[in-house]
Chain A
Amino acid sequence: MQRRRFVKSLVAAPAASALLAQQQTPPPGNPGNVAPGVPQNATRGNQPPGSAAQDLPRFDASIPDVAAETMPRFFTQTQFEALRHLSDLLMPAVDGHPGALDASAPEFLDFLVSQSPEERRQTYRAGLDALNHESAKRYHKPFAATTAEEAAPILAALNQPWQYNPPADPLGHFLVAAKADVRTATVNSREYVAAAASSGRRFGGSGLYWHSLD
């Protein structure tokens, strides 16, 4: 579902790039031929008088994920370790594309679920508890300690054909939701977007963003 919505947003992009061209945004990054120590704006000499004062600098700023890690706050430690292991099993790194752990998808989902309506919070809490419960029953250890082979029967619901109504049991219900959410949290991450753009598979997941209206 989320992915479908996202694809919709991409449809708006061609019109968007034309818009960007109209704005004549200077390319971000390091300008080529500026002598060290000379302020960049001082080198723009060919502009009509008065324009330099309005030509404010544009910075290529960073999102916090570049410099910091999300602090998981919502799940218990056992739940969170199960989520990390599940995320790795659902979306491992494939063909040079980052996996869920590379993309910090579990940390992001801890945040997202903590902000979500009670229904989603309950789905995740009950589902992660069910993962650990099943694992304890079968192997006498937490889900995070299972091998891929041991985890397979616990994740069997994911091999069933898609149904409009998700499974009624808490584990199956959760697994179907997590499969979609982990994927979205991964492919929309800064790490995945950069890898996909450099391999030419997608054009960086860009879209036309609406700022808030006054």
Chain B
Amino acid sequence: MSVQTHDVLIIGSGAAGGMAAYTLTQKGVKCLMLDAGPLVDFNRVRGIRSVSELPYRGFGKPGRLPHVVQANEFNANQWVDEKQVPYTHAPDEPYNWVRVRMIGGKSLFWARMSFRLSNYEFKGKDHDGFGENWPIAYEDLAPYYSKVEPIFRVAGRKEGWNQLPDGEFLEDNSPWSGAMQRFIASAGKRNIPVTKMRRATGRGQFASSFNLLLPDAMDSGNLTMVPNAVVREITTDKNTGLANGVNFHDRQSGREMHAKARVVVVAASCLESTRILLNSKIANSSGALGHYLHDQFYITQGVQAIVPEAKDGKAPRGLMGGGGYSPRFVNLKRGHEEDFIRGYAFDFGTGGSPDPKFIPGYGAEHEKAVRSLEGTGVSVTIMGEVLPRYENYAEIDPNVVDEWGIPVLRFRAKYSDNEARMAKHAMNTFAEVCEGAGFEVLTKHDQPWPPGYSIHELGTCRMGDDPKKSVLNKWNQSHDVKNLFVVDGSSFVTGGYQNPTMTILSLSMRASDYLADQMRAGNV
């Protein structure tokens, strides 16, 4: 029985792993991809159902996914079962770890918001003195963003803003609705920029690794894809300390297996990658592994306003509809203009209906009010930068294991005063812009969801030039183990206010280019 030893073993098939496979296989590198979840036949596992026929009338089975706010009774089966793969946190410090295990990973379900980071993030310490700079600058990653955006067919509008660099967009020339024009005029008086959402249009149903990256990788003949492989740990050679493969369990039977490889690329998502490294007891001479956990804090329905002219179904044609995006507009000059550092974005829309819970009253009168406000809504999600701090971390819980006996993560993470002050500023600013546009503010609040909610977890294997302060070098390569690369969001130094997927894809492509060159040169 012969078992092939692959050049590169990639753990994970989502945005990061898919891009690594896509890039390496095009260069002739033989890759083995392991994913903890199944290869899903989407035509078989999904079907149309009426909410009234679901066992829990759309409420979902109580207590099944307590940390996944995004779950509903339709999609409950797409998320990782919290009992099968648990994690722990202190009762007063909840962490919402939202996970998907299947070929394609979370790239099957993302909101597709597609942004570039800028030197306000890559060189954030230079701007305001906090934290660390990335070991790379915007100019290092820009050529890769430019290759990734056409693959994902990102639509957007070029604006020329330093804090949100333009990309290779499908030009979005759609007109603004009347309500949006009023909002933009009011925002303009405060120098708040507004643009069209930048969004990966993808192809067909998905903008995913599943349909945009993995098909080419498979067609190359250089990729072996093994679903249902739950990785326990990376194995190393006793003499050299180099990685030589992984131990994994077959998801369904539990059978334990070992796969060999010359190089290991970890792309299992930020926290699963970190968990694998911690359980492997490697790549942590810095002590930074698991630390600097951050994301973006999200405040959904931070402001709920209505357009009075649209009440009772009387909106003239073209008044309501569409939404926009406002990138960071604070602390751009010196970094300390406000009583907090860094900044936030608005993602907002018009034409929806306010949640009935926002409308006081009950009974027939309440129902009448609810219907009167249908289609009048203006609502915002506030997305704020979270400072990467050493005190926020994930570690191995010595007392809890998952279904395969693999030790699980324990979280210590909470937002700081900086995020709280930023949240209040964002809420008040958006409400004031609405009022300036002639909208009526129904409700506002500045309370973020628990850390993790945005599904943008970042920073726990951060890169840096100093091996004492960082896990990876500027090529996403372990300082300690030269044939080990970590190419997902865990490598971020700081995440900014922007959704991270375009940056994850670009970093993975850049690291994979470098890895292929190093292998060709015989350095790895």
Contacts and interface: CB of A to CB of B under 8 A. Distances in A.
Contact of A211 (B46, B50, B357, B368): B46
Interface string B13-35: 00000000000000000000000
Given A15-B205, A213-B40, A120 B62 contact: yes
B49 A112 contact: no
A212 interface: yes
Interface string A4-33: 111111001101110110110000000000
Contact of A209 (B54, B66, B205): B54
A144 interface: no
- Top 3 A-B pairs ranked by shortest CB distance? A116-B62, A164-B445, A205-B51
Contact of A189 (B57, B72, B358): B57
A68 interface: no
A184 B59 contact: yes
A184 B57 contact: yes
Most buried by B among A7, A19, A207: A207
Interface string B330-358: 00000000000000000000001001111
A159 B57 contact: no
B356 A162 contact: no
Contacts of B301: 4
Contacts of B357: 1, 3, 162, 176, 179-180
B74 A208 contact: yes
Most buried by A among B46, B58, B445, B447: B58
24 contacts: A5-B70, A7-B352, A15-B205, A20-B48, A63-B52, A92-B367, A94-B364, A117-B63, A159-B361, A160-B360, A180-B357, A181-B59, A184-B59, A188-B52, A188-B59, A190-B50, A190-B53, A206-B50, A207-B49, A209-B47, A209-B49, A210-B76, A211-B46, A211-B47
B286 interface: no
A189 B51 CA distance: 8
Interface string A171-214: 00000100111011100111011000000000011111111111
A19 B46 contact: yes
B358 A162 contact: yes
B58 A188 contact: yes
A150 to B, nearest CB: 14
Interface residues of A, number: 62
Given A115-B62, A117-B63, A162-B443, A9 B47 contact: no
B43 interface: yes
A38 to B, nearest CB: 30
Given A91-B367, A206-B50, A207-B74, 9 more contacts: A2-B59, A3-B356, A6-B51, A15-B205, A92-B363, A179-B357, A207-B48, A211-B44, A214-B252
